[in-house]
Chain A
Amino acid sequence: MAVSEAAWAAGGQQPQDFDALFLAHWAEVYRLLYRMLGDEAEDAAQEVFLKLHLKPPRPDSNHRAWLYKVATREGLNRLRSRGRQDGLLGRVKALLGSQDSEASPQASAELRDDQRAVREVLARMRPLYAQVLLLRHEGLEYAELAEALQVSKASVGTLLARAEQQFAKLYGDGEAGGGRQ
């Protein structure tokens, strides 16, 4: 028996449960990662579902929250890795490549600049703040955010407020430094 099947069986679940979860959540996970990463999104989304395949959360878990948590972490890790490995030039190329291959031709250079800037800010943010910001933007409720991020529901509002302020500060620093037009 493959290890992943054993992992599912250990939780009292069947391999077909994985298929059902994949079909139910692929599109939203993929779309989230596409916004974060561009054309790297499918590889990243596959990595997320591979983690689900290898180590499913408990059957009584909120699988959607779990997937969003893992997806944002995967996306942020890739954004950070992209920044470190490729430098600014690589990031620009990656973004342009993404736009050239899949994006609408109407996407303006200004919009691309701004999207790049937002991704850079997300990569520089404290990971927990970036996650809560992205997950809330995806529509997760406070209870889901608390479960996904393993924080108390009462602290979610404060976490969001601080995340938004860090985002605004870093985004503003970029503007002050001439990073955006």
Chain B
Amino acid sequence: MTSPTKQNAGRLLVFAILIVAGVAFVAPLAWMVSTSLKPLNETMSLPPRWIPSEIQWRNYPDAIREMGNFWLYAGNTLLVCVLSVTGTVASSALAAYGFARIEWKGREKVFWILLATMMVPFPVVMVPIYGLFKDLGWIGSFKPLWVPAFFASAFNIFLLRQFFLALPKDISEAARIDGCSEFGIFFRIILPLCKPALLVVALFQFLASWNDFLGPLIFLTEQKDFTLALALQSFQSQQGGTSWHHLMAASTLVLIPVLALFFLTQKSFIEGIATSGGKN
């Protein structure tokens, strides 16, 4: 048995390591915000200063102006996010139900195929998909960014299936005896019970669409259609690494909605990630 003194010393050491690691993890974000509030000359000062001599809030409106149509980009991003979230929640829930709560011949084999598709990275398929969307005349529109979401994603199906499987079979049986249709059971009984899981999928998809860079890069052609991620990259490449205070302000602006969403839904969020790692 370890002695209490030794145990306390151990916990103190753990705490000290966590403090150091915590500082290291927070420092980059703190530096980003700090830089975003500095006058230009202080961004380069040596040794670095954390607190600007005067907090320069106008970096934010300046960055918004320099990025061009910031609010238009934000609107584009939001539109793509909302459509993708709607599409993937509806279609993935349907498919996950089919994999979790109806027993049909060959189900396990088909599910195995679904898991295998997660191994196919987007760059591998992006050329034919680009060709497909080009034939449809969709290049330069938002459609390539949200239409695929209506055809379910393997990861979201996997996640929702985990939740659906956890519900007892009796619920469905009872409803079936009462003459409820399969879709009725799905829509009126199972979905309401799985609202937290649907929220998790919605959150993950929102973030994925908000963060997506490669999709907008290849499918969008005109500046006015850019999403925030693409607009930020284009702003950065125009700047060529000079106005760091404006770049950091723009980055902070793109990050804030993500952080806000996280803090509002922290509990579901963390549970969702834990589930994705094979818990249950």
Decide whether A and B assemble into one complex: no
